[in-house]
């Protein structure tokens, strides 16, 4: 090989390396990563689910995001209303698409949850989202959009507080670590020391089956997730670590949703399970009920994978920020999920 050709090949290899460095949005696992959020960035505030019926909650949400260091751009229809929803389906979807299209907007966060996201899950411009990856976050009913965005585009999205949540120190520190500081963080419950008691009774985790497992994180609200079963927006559970939470559901409904996930093959494909808080999920009326312990044992023990319960995920004050699509290692005995790499760039 002559020297000129050797130099050309060397230059081509170097140029390829520079091009790869200039397009760092694709993680080694194949997931698409958004740029991290930074103080001074503009967050697009959207309301894909319930309407906000008073002015004060919207004002508080904007002030909370500003206190976190962000500028806020409310969506055109964020204060709209049609029945229980924040505007028509077309309006709510249009706000999300507009925020991804706007180069001045660094990320998109939901104002609140409730109901209605499933009505617009097929109205998002996933090609646009793939071309312009940004932070997208929320929880509860946002479970459908967070998982759909990841499934349709590969973008890591975030099960995290909504703008209208209480942004306490624990929630803020977790959000900043994962979304702003790009840390390969260890997601664990807050440490609460017992007060005038011999044992701690809050923020506890419990082991259903011991062990460790690695896989991409998927999940969120159980009833919302189960409603996506059989659609193109349901997460790929093969080798995944599934996290679940719920609120105000009778135990028989929790059982029914888990049976849906078992029957569609999702549970049998998992590497591990992390159960968050099932707030006010109690027996309904009738002759009797299984306990949550019994329901969880029935569905998860036969899987022979690690499972733990009580993670700080769900309709609770102090919340973890969990990146859907990011690779993590769960440790059931430690009650932790350790990100194997940063979830943002």
Q: Known catalytic residues?
A: 140, 245, 315
Which residues face 45 on adjacent strands? 74, 109
CA distance 157 to 121: 14
- 183 is written with which tokens? 């840390």
- 131 is written with which tokens? 């071309």
Residue 114 contacts residue 92 (beta carbons within 8 Å): no
Q: Write the CA distances from 103 to 35, 106, 108, 137, 175, integer angstroms.
A: 13, 7, 12, 18, 23
CA distance 207 to 271: 15
Residue 107 contacts residue 41 (beta carbons within 8 Å): yes
CA distance 150 to 179: 16
């Amino acid at each position: 090989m002559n020297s000129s050709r050797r130099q050309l090949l060397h230059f081509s290899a170097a140029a390829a390396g520079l091009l790869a460095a200039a397009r760092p949005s694709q993680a080694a696992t194949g997931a698409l990563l958004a740029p991290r959020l930074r103080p001074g960035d503009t967050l697009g505030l959207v309301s894909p689910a319930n309407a906000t019926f008073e002015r004060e909650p919207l004002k508080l949400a904007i002030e909370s995001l500003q206190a976190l260091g962000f500028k806020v751009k409310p969506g055109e229809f964020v204060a709209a209303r049609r029945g229980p929803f924040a505007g028509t389906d077309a309006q709510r979807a249009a706000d999300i698409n507009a925020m991804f299209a706007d180069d001045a907007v660094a990320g998109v966060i939901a104002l609140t949850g409730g109901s209605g996201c499933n009505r617009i899950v097929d109205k998002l411009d996933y090609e646009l989202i793939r071309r312009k990856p940004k932070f997208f976050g929320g929880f509860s009913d946002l479970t459908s959009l967070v998982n759909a965005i990841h499934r349709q585009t590969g973008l890591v999205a975030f099960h995290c507080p909504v703008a209208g949540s209480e942004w306490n120190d624990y929630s803020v520190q977790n959000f900043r670590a994962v979304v702003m500081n790009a840390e390969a963080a260890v997601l664990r419950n807050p440490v609460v020391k017992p007060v005038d008691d011999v044992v701690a009774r809050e923020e506890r985790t419990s082991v259903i089956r011991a062990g460790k497992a690695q896989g991409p994180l998927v999940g969120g609200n159980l009833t919302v997730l189960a409603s996506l079963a059989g659609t193109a927006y349901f997460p790929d559970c093969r080798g995944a670590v599934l996290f679940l939470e719920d609120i105000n559901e009778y135990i028989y409904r929790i059982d029914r949703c888990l049976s849906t996930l078992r029957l569609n093959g999702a549970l049998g494909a998992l590497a591990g399970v992390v159960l968050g808080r099932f707030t006010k999920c109690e027996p309904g009326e009738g002759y009797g009920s299984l306990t949550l312990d019994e329901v969880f044992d029935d569905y998860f023990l036969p899987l022979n994978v690690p499972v733990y319960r009580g993670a700080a995920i769900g309709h609770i004050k102090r919340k973890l920020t969990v990146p859907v699509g990011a690779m993590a290692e769960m440790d059931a005995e430690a009650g932790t999920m350790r990100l194997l790499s940063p979830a943002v760039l």
